[in-house]
Structure 1
C-alpha cells in the first residue's frame, strides 16, 4: 500500500498537469481578462481587489518572457494551488495524521471551485486560498500547539499580511482567532502575551497598499465593497444563494461531507478543545456573517467559501477513519468523485471550445468563449493599428475581454456611467477627447446613438463580427465607429465634494 506522502506527491503532480492543460486550453473568463489589466496599470491597489492578484499574474507572464497567453496569465495561480494542496496536507497531518492530511488535500482538489476557479483562473481566490491556509496552519501552532511562544505569531502575521494583500475576505481570519480566544477560557491568557499584537501589527502591513490607494481615491474601494454588504431589506433570494451556492461550487458530495463535519463538532462544541474548536470558530465567523448579510443583500455564491476552508482538515479526519472501517466503500466513493470532477472539467472545456450543446437558456460557457475570434477580426480589418483610435464597450467585463483579445495593442476603456470599475481610474474622461472611438456592442442595443453620439462628431456603423468557437458562429457583436470625440464621457466615479 502506498504511503500518504507518495499519494500526495502523485495528487499534486496529476492535478498540476490537468490544471495546466485546462489553463492552456480555455480562453480567459471575463474577470480574468479584466484582471490582466492590473498588470498593465501597476498601482498600490485597485478598485476591486488588493494588489496580490497583479503580483501573481505578472510573475506568470514574466516567467514566460512576456508572452501574453491564458497559460502565462494563469501560471502563477496554478502553482499556488499546488502549494495550497501541500499546506492542506501538512496542516491536517500535524493534527489528525497523514492519511487524514491526504484525504483533506484530495477533497480540496475534488471541490470544483477551488481546483478550477481558485486553482487555475486569474482570481483573488487563488492567493487567498494559499495564504488563508497558511494563516490557519500557523494559528493552530500559536494558539494550540505552542501557546505563549512568539515565533509562531511571527508566521501568523506574515501569512495574514499575504492574505490581506489578496482579498478583503482575509479579515475573517483574525476575527475567527479572536472568537476562539474569547470562547476558550484556557486561550484567553494569549491576550496577556505580546504574540497576538505582534502578529496583528505585521498582518496590518498587508493593508498598507490598500489604505494608500484608497486615501488617494476618496476611499472608493472600501465604499464599493461595504455597499455590497450593508443595507437593503429582508429578502430570501440571497439566503438561498448562501445555502445552495456553495453546494454547487464545492459539488454536493464535498459540501455534504464538510457540513457533516461541522454539525458533528457543533453538537459537542462545549466539550471539544484544541484544534477542532479553533477550526469551528474559524468556520462559523464568515458563515454566520454572510448568512446574516444574505437576508438583506444579494451575495455572490463564492463569498461564503472561506468559511468552509477550516472544515477540510476535519473532513480529512472523518474520511480517514471511515477508510479504516469501510475501505472498499471509500475507495469506490473516491473513484466516483474523481471521475465526476474530470468529466465535468472535460465537458466544460469541450463546450467552451466547440459549443456542441445548444442550451435553451444562457450558455454557461458563453463568457469564456469567442473573444479570441473578435481580436483576430479586429486585427484583420486593421482596426487595431488605426491611429488616434481607442476601443470601448458599455461593460467593464467586456472591455477587459477586448483588451486581452487584442493583447493591449490599442487603448481600451469602458464607457458606462456609474459602473466603469477600474477603468474609471486607469484614465480620465478628458483623455479621450479628440480621438476616434470604436464601440464593441455585445448587447445589440438600439439606443447606442442616443447614449454615445452626443459626445462625438459623427458615427458610422461598421460590419458586425460573428464570434466563433470551433469554427462556428455563435454570437453577434456590433461595431460602431464614433469619430472625433468632442467632450468627455462621464465614466469616472463621482468624487466626494471637498
Structure 2
C-alpha cells in the first residue's frame, strides 16, 4: 500500500467509525451546551470564543432533520479528518511521507484526540485543526519568507485558532522561541510577512475583544481565573496532572512523546535540526505554562496536550524508522495501538446504550468496581423529556424549565428543542446569564428538574416563588434496571428575579422579594415533601 493510500485509509475508516459512534450516543459532557452556542451565535460566550458555536451550527444546518446530538458532531468529525491530513502534511514536509502517515496514525490512536475530540463537539476540535494549519503554513513561510502570501495564510490560521481557544496565543510565543534558538531564521524579521500575519490574526480576533468589552470582560476573566491564584505548592496536583495526561494520550503514546522531549532537552539546542527546533518551540510554551500552574492549582488534564501535538511529527519520524528497521514487529505494535481505542470507544458506546457493564443497582462494572456510571448522562435527559411531555408539562408556553446546573439545563434544552424555555438557576450560570434577563422569568411558573447529581435542593428556590410543590418522582431506566431517580417540582409564579452571575464559589444569591398576589400567601416551608414514585 502506498503512503498516500495508507493516509486516506486512516482518514476514511476512522471517520466512518466516528460517524457510527456519533449516531449511537446521546449528547455527552458539555456538548449540549455547545448546541446552545449554535442557537445563540455571537462573537463570544462566557467561557469560550465563538468557533465551537460556528462549527456546531454548520453541522446542525447540514444535517437538518436528524438527531441534534448527531448533527452537532458532524462538523467536528469532518474537522478532525482535516486535522489528520494536516498532521501528515506537516510531518511530510520535514521527515517524508512514511513519517507523515505514522504521525497521522498517532493522532488517531490517542484517547483524547482520536476518540473524544474526533467524535464529540467541543472547542478542542477547531483548536487542533487551526493549530496544525498554523504550524503547516508557518513552516512553509519560514522556508520562503519573501512570499507574503504564505504569511497571509499563517496569519489567517492563527486568527482562526484564537477564535477557537484562547491559548492559541501561545503560537507566536513558540515562533519567537524558535527565532531565539535558530538565529538564521531571524532574517524573516527584515521582511513584512511576519508583521502582516500578526496584524491579520489580531484583526480576525478583534470581534472577540469587542464582545468581551461589551460584556464586562467576562470570558477573559473567567479563563484567567481558572489558571490563576497561587495557592502554595501542591506536588500531588502536579502528579495528578501527569497521570491525567498519560491516560488521555494513552500511556504508550505519552511515554514516547515525553522520551522525545527529554532527549531533545538533553542535547544542546545548537545540535537540533531546523525542524526539531521549530516543533519543540511550539511544544514547550503550552507544556511549561500549564504544568507550572499544575504545581499549585488543579488543571484539566487536556489543557497541556496541544503541546504534545507539536511533538507528534517527531514521534511519527521515529515510528517510520522503526518500521523500516523491523517491519514485522512494528506492524504488530501498530495494530495494537489502533485496536485499543477502537475497542474502548466501541464498548463505551455499546455500554452507554445497553448497560453492558452495569450491575443490578445500575452501577458500573458490577461488584468489581461499583462506581457511579458516567454514561448515564447520555440517556438521562431523553427519558426526562419524554416524561415531561407525557405529563403535559411542555404544553404551557408560559411555564419554563430549569435546573441548578448549566450542563443540566443545556441537556434539557437539546432534548426539548424549541418547545419550551429553559433557564439555569445557579450563581454559576455561564452563558445562560447572557441568553436571558433575570426579570424575563418573573411572573411565570417554573418546573425544577432535580437529578441525583444536583447540588441544590428544591426548597432552596422557595424565596423566589409563591410556592414550590412536588409533582412526581420517576426512575431513569436502562436495560430494565433503574439507574437514577429524578424528581420534578412545580414552582408557582416567580416573584423575584434570580440574579445570574459567576463570582466564584459561595452561597446562592438572595432575592429582593416582590409581593405575592392578593389572597395567595407565600409558602416558605423548608421541608418540602418528596414526590411519590410514579
TM-score (norm 2): 0.89
Query: d(CA) in 1 for partners of 2:16 and 2:181?
Result: 44
1:286 has 2:286 as partner: yes
What residue in structure 2 maps to residue 295 of structure 1? Answer: 295
Query: d(CA) in 2 for partners of 1:148 and 1:260?
Result: 36
What residue in structure 2 maps to residue 235 of structure 1? Answer: 234
Query: d(CA) in 1 for partners of 2:273 and 2:89?
Result: 21
Q: List per-residue Cα deviations over 1:252-294 (Å, max 9, x = no partner).
A: 1111222222222222233113111010110011101111111
- 2:397–2:420: 8 Å Cα contact kept in structure 1? no
1:388 has 2:398 as partner: yes
Q: 1:327 to 1:447 in 2, by over 3 A?
A: closer
1:211 has 2:186 as partner: no
For residues 173-212 of structure 1, the aligned pairs below 5 Å read 173-212=171-210
Q: List per-residue Cα deviations over 1:326-382 (Å, max 9, x = no partner).
A: 111110001111111111111111221122323322223233332211111111111
Q: 1:215 to 1:66 in 2, by over 3 A?
A: farther
What residue in structure 2 maps to residue 56 of structure 1? Answer: 55
1:106 has 2:105 as partner: yes
- 2:127–2:164: 8 Å Cα contact kept in structure 1? yes
What residue in structure 1 maps to residue 496 of structure 2? Answer: 487
Offset of residue 406 of structure 1: 1.0
For residues 344-423 of structure 1, the aligned pairs below 5 Å read 344-357=344-357, 358-359=363-364, 360-417=370-427, 419-423=428-432
Q: List per-residue Cα deviations over 1:464-492 (Å, max 9, x = no partner).
A: 23223345321111111001000111223
SS in 2 for 1:365: helix
- 1:20–1:75: 8 Å Cα contact kept in structure 2? yes
Offset of residue 162 of structure 1: 1.0
Q: 1:445 to 1:371 in 2, by over 3 A?
A: closer
Q: List per-residue Cα deviations over 1:48-98 (Å, max 9, x = no partner).
A: 111111111111111123544211110000001111111111111111010
Query: d(CA) in 2 for partners of 1:230 and 1:446?
Result: 25
What residue in structure 2 maps to residue 434 of structure 1? Answer: 443
Bigger relative CO (Cα 8 Å, ≥ 6 apart):
1
Query: d(CA) in 2 for partners of 1:14 and 1:72?
Result: 19
- 1:35–1:53: 8 Å Cα contact kept in structure 2? yes
TM-score (norm 1): 0.95
- 1:132–1:163: 8 Å Cα contact kept in structure 2? yes
SS in 2 for 1:26: coil
Q: 1:205 to 1:468 in 2, by over 3 A?
A: farther
Query: d(CA) in 2 for partners of 1:396 and 1:445?
Result: 11
Residue correspondences, number: 491
Structure 2 unaligned blocks of 5 or more: 358-362, 365-369, 504-534
Query: d(CA) in 2 for partners of 1:444 and 1:458?
Result: 24
Offset of residue 446 of structure 1: 9.7
**Greater Cα offset, 450-459 or 279-288:** 450-459
1:72 has 2:81 as partner: no
Query: d(CA) in 2 for partners of 1:446 and 1:241?
Result: 25
Match of 1:455 among 460, 464, 473: 464
- 1:16–1:79: 8 Å Cα contact kept in structure 2? yes
What residue in structure 1 maps to residue 128 of structure 2? Answer: 129
What residue in structure 1 maps to residue 328 of structure 2? Answer: 328
Query: d(CA) in 2 for partners of 1:103 and 1:156?
Result: 25
Query: d(CA) in 2 for partners of 1:447 and 1:90?
Result: 50
Q: List per-residue Cα deviations over 1:357-410 (Å, max 9, x = no partner).
A: 233222232333322111111111111122311111111111111111212321
Query: d(CA) in 2 for partners of 1:236 and 1:361?
Result: 27
Query: d(CA) in 1 for partners of 2:252 and 2:434?
Result: 43
Q: Indicate the RMSD between aligned Cα atoms, in angstroms.
A: 1.6
